[in-house]
Chains A and B, each alone.
Chain A
């Protein structure tokens, strides 16, 4: 496999082909070490992942687009490349004229909440903390010089981390459901019973085909709020009506019989 230099991609009419990766002729998807990329849709076919239990290990918390676990090169394929499917910088030219991409095979640490930044290993960016893998590429380097002038992104101020973990908890619950042979049917569905109404984060069908309900909580001590406790408690005895737009758009039934709401804790 070869990896074209970033500059060379500017001459192609289809930027997605600049991946330089093997294309599965049956599906039309490009194979990267970490995941498949769909060139026809311009996105990854699965969210970015990491073996460590870190919700968004490859994200740059100052750049919201990097939080989209499916976007390819933060939607900027003309000026950046991604050799392994996780995250890479924009490359640099060494003293020997070799163009090199710098890719993290370990995630960078969580952003600091103080607003301070530390320099990266090669001084390329302020968020290059992780252990790096270098992929050397010989080839055209014309036009890449300007890419190296990028200013280090500002570090986030406090608050972003915990918020992100909330969303990631749901993602982990989804993974757990799928590992058990279930499939997710809907997100954020309103349930109503004699105790009131609440919005359940996940509706899924288990491996046997039965509808189930799930709520993701972050931290072993995180608990349902009082409204959730009341409504979900009543669901175990009387079931609930499934109301609202999300119940309709997911093709859910009008109601369900007695069932419990599973709490996923991470």
Chain B
């Protein structure tokens, strides 16, 4: 029998094969897929895998979103993101975009009788039906800012890095500086590594805003 990771790779391979039909320029980086939507914006798909379920099944939670190349590159330059691989600017679990609007996990059984290819096709179809339309409507700096401001398909810990950078790119320099100042005020007194890292990032944002304004 295949090891779990090998089985997961097979599932991912099948999903990739199906998605490549809808998005011929699909790129794969581990379990993350990206494809160009328009200039500077890419569709982003991550396969979040629950491989330690106590029932022995493997759960696949497709996460979909967009990646603004400009935002992500600048976030990295300013010290806000050092994770390898393409990161998402806005993302959500696919189930919340589907009519049911709840967390959905596709379950796979590692057994010879289980038709994992068919299930993988269903995931790809769901991504095509509900994920890609969401990506297309979010594929602009304005839509990204709107999403991050309202935490519609994001969360605070991601938005606190990406929103000020999006403001910088959108020439909203005052907003960028005031946003990071507010965040620093909210974490005043914190001595954890995450807070120290954010303060460095915020300093870099303020400096960049000043540079752009001059």
A interface residues, Cβ below 8 angstroms from B: 27, 29, 36, 38, 40-43, 45-46, 64-65, 67-70, 75, 163-164, 166-167, 170, 174, 178, 183-188, 199, 205, 208-211, 237-239, 241, 245-258
Contact = CB atoms under 8 A, between A and B. Distances in A.
Contact of A251 (B51, B87, B190, B197): B87
Given A210-B155, A245-B31, A250 B91 contact: yes
Among all A-B residue pairs, the 6 with the closest Cβ atoms: A166-B54, A249-B46, A209-B151, A251-B88, A251-B91, A187-B50
Interface in B57-87: 57, 59, 61, 63, 65, 81-85, 87
7 contacts: A75-B115, A164-B55, A166-B54, A183-B96, A238-B193, A239-B194, A247-B83
Interface residues of B, number: 64
Contacts of A46: 100, 102, 104
B129 interface: yes
Interface stretch (B106-114, B133-141, B165-173): B106-114
Nearest to A208: B156
Given A184-B93, A248-B85, A41 B156 contact: no
A239 B193 CA distance: 8
Interface string B171-214: 00000000000000001001011110100000000000000000
B156 A211 contact: yes
A242 to B, nearest CB: 9
A107 B142 CA distance: 50
Contact of A257 (B109, B115, B190): B190
